């Protein structure tokens, strides 16, 4: 149950268990990682040549795609409650032949494409990040520790000096960084596959076999 009370919200935030803190301590991916793990769909350049399977970023989909799904599909996507069947129906049209696309402008795909892309992931040790906000803006380095108790991450070469002269890590909140390189292991690959929809395609292939 969600409360509008500031006191209750703060208590829920600072008393959150580890699995909730992990999700809250997520950071945005940079443009290269977003396009690498984004949606692939039929596209064309200004000359009209097809560029099949190219990853399309959400903010430029309306300029690249000449057409989108039919109005009935997009009307269903605009509803407050979108069932998985409706979303999968629209998703199937992204890889459909160009002749199957309706007359609606490509701007209608903006909502769907932006929600299918992986835009952020929970930060983990050994990820490489770029600080984009705060006093350390512009610094880049590898994550050495994810300190969930204090809601900060420690980054190599980002330190501060105490009054007694000792040097300690300077904690950075994950919302102030952008992930530039992911530390990929089997668990991380499964998470990316699940979020990008690749797992669903693999399951369909296994059933067909």
User: pLDDT class for 139, splitting at 50, 70, 90?
Assistant: very high
Query: Which has more pLDDT, 128 or 89?
Result: 128
Domain termination residue (choose one: 117, 141, 169): 117
pLDDT value at position 47?
Answer: 44
Q: Are residues 159 and 207 in the same domain?
A: yes
pLDDT value at position 45?
Answer: 43
The answer to which of 22-26, 32-36, 162-166 has the lowest mean pLDDT is: 32-36
How confident is the model over 43-66, as a mean pLDDT? 40
Whether this model's pTM surpasses 0.85: no
Domain termination residue (choose one: 93, 117, 141): 117
Cβ-based neighbours of 34, under 8 Å, separated by 6 or more: 57, 117, 118, 119
Identify the residue whose tokens are 């705060």: 134
Cβ-based neighbours of 188, under 8 Å, separated by 6 or more: 121, 124, 182
Q: Are residues 46 and 90 in the same domain?
A: yes
């Amino acid at each position: 149950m969600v409360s509008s009370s500031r006191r209750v919200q703060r208590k829920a935030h600072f008393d959150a268990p580890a699995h909730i803190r992990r999700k809250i301590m997520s950071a945005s991916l940079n443009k290269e990682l977003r396009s690498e793990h984004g949606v692939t769909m039929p596209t064309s350049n200004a000359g009209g040549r097809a560029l099949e399977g190219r990853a399309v970023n959400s903010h430029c989909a309306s300029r690249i795609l000449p057409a989108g799904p039919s109005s009935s599909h997009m009307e269903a996507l605009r509803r407050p409650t979108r069932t998985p069947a409706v979303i999968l129906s629209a998703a199937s049209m992204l890889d459909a032949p160009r002749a199957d696309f309706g007359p609606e402008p490509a701007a209608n795909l903006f909502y769907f494409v932006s929600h299918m892309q992986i835009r952020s992931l929970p930060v983990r040790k050994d990820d490489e990040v770029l600080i984009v906000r705060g006093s350390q803006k512009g610094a880049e380095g590898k994550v050495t520790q994810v300190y969930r108790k204090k809601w900060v991450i420690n980054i190599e070469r980002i330190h501060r000096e105490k009054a007694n002269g000792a040097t300690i890590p300077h904690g950075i909140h994950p919302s102030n960084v952008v992930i530039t390189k992911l530390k990929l292991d089997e668990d991380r690959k499964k998470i990316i596959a699940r979020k990008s929809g690749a797992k669903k395609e693999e399951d369909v292939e296994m059933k067909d076999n």
